[in-house]
């Protein structure tokens, strides 16, 4: 693991930990985003290291949130059927991502995971990551504000993408 991968992993952990450090319990959305960001960081740096573990964590968080659905704990404003559907889609994609065979496969499945995550973001309350779209990959992803970091092309085209929502 190189220094950039370590920094992206730490960033993901911090995203999950900040609410707890402030005395607040992180919502399911915030917890998921911490792991999602760690995965995006690995793919951005052309690696699958840690991807399976973070994907399994996403699946676990989502399954717990769905089993005892409470809008505030999940991080949404209402308990709609759409949210439950998205949680199921996220869990399914995360499970597939945990089984990814290689970098190309992980990137493809990350795209599948990103579709319901972008919709879940729209339902979420509080601070939200930005939505970025790559016209070459024809896929979107979520990431914290700042420099674009494309998980679909990695270091070959790290800055390829357009912010479509902040």
Dist CA 94 CA 85 (whole Å): 14
DSSP 73-108: HHTBSS--HHHHHHHHHHHHHHHHHHT--SHHHHHH
Q: Is the pLDDT of residue 19 over 80?
A: no
Contact indicator for 136, 160 with CB cutoff of 8 Å: yes
Please report, rounded to a whole number, the percentage of residues in the chain having pLDDT higher than 70.
85
Q: What is the predicted pLDDT for the residue at 11?
A: 53
Give the pLDDT band of residue 42 (cuts 50, 70, 90).
Answer: very high
- For 146-159, what is the mean pLDDT? 97
Q: What pLDDT shows up at residue 18?
A: 46
């Amino acid at each position: 693991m190189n220094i950039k991968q370590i920094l992206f992993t730490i960033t993901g952990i911090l995203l999950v930990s900040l609410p707890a450090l402030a005395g607040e319990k992180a919502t399911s959305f915030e917890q998921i985003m911490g792991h999602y960001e760690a995965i995006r960081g690995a793919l951005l740096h052309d690696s699958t290291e840690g991807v399976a573990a973070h994907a399994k964590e996403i699946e676990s968080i989502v399954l717990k949130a769905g089993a005892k659905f409470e809008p505030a704990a999940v991080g949404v404003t209402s308990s709609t059927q759409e949210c439950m559907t998205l949680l199921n889609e996220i869990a399914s994609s995360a499970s597939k991502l945990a089984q990814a065979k290689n970098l190309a496969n992980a990137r493809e499945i990350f795209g599948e995971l990103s579709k319901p995550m972008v919709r879940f973001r729209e339902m979420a309350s509080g601070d939200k990551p930005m939505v970025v779209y790559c016209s070459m990959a024809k896929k979107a992803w979520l990431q914290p504000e700042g420099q674009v970091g494309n998980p679909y092309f990695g270091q070959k085209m790290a800055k390829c993408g357009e912010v479509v929502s902040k």
